[in-house]
Every structure is written in C-alpha cells, then in structure tokens.
Amino acid sequence: MVQLGQPVDDFKLPATGDKHLALHDFKGQKLVLYFYPKDNTPGCTREGQEFRDAFEAFQAAGATILGVSRDSVRTHENFCAKHAFPFDLISDADELLCKQFDVIKEKNMYGRKYMGIERSTFLIDENGVLQAQWRKVKVPGHVEEVLEAVKKL
C-alpha cells in the first residue's frame, strides 16, 4: 500500500484515447490521481465536471489529472465524450491500482453490503513520491482543496 512521503510503485493500465498509461509517463510532472466508484453516476459525474472545470488551473500549476475506476475503457470513452473531460480515465478492471492505493472498501447501499471504490484522491510529485491524500472524499469543495495543495507543492 502507498505511504505518504514514499515513492509510488509504477503501474501501466489501459486508458481512454487507446492508451496504456504508466506512472513513469508523468515523471517531471505533478499527478493528481482521483479514484471514483462508477461512470455516469451523480457524484462521480459532478466530481469529474469539477476537475474538468479546473483543468486549466491544474495545468498552470504543473499538474496532470487522471481519473480511475473499475469501469471499462469503452464506458470511460463514453463518459469522457458526454462530459467533455480533457483528461484521461484509467480502467482498473482488475483492481491493481485500487489495491495499491487501498481504495476498495466495504460499502452499504439500501442495506446491501458490497466491495467498491471509496472516493479518494492522491497527489504525486514530479519524482513519483506521494505527497498528499484525501480519503472518503465529499465532492463539494474537494477540487479546490486539491488545487491548493498542488500549488503549494
């Protein structure tokens, strides 16, 4: 599992735009990696839209944004197109990255328990070291908080 102040293990997973993205692809850049439960659900859509709306500010601060869920690349492509996301979404169908960041948690919906992604965001510096993390994220105000952390890094 990742630890604050420690290097993040490299990964390479399929993403939108017919790509396979790896951590080392972003060496020299700050990376915001946000995990969300499911494409086209209200909270996940709002979170993606807020990252989209702040995309230029993140770029100006030297950061790249990547979203991660267990959805397929095809579902991600549709989600990106529908909401004009300017950043890529990673498909983690096998939960490799989810497990590395320990975001799979027991959830409860209408009395039914299941394992799902706990909304979480991680800030990785230019050298691949984890500098900040937000777990159990509530969407309102979150993107602004992440952007402030990026600017301070």
Active-site residue list: 44
From edge to edge, which strands make up the β-sheet containing 30-35?
19-22, 12-15, 88-91, 63-69, 30-35, 120-124, 130-134
Q: Identify the three-state secondary structure at position 72.
A: coil
Alpha-carbon radius of gyration of the chain: 14
Looking at the DSSP bridge assignments, the partners of residue 88 are: 66
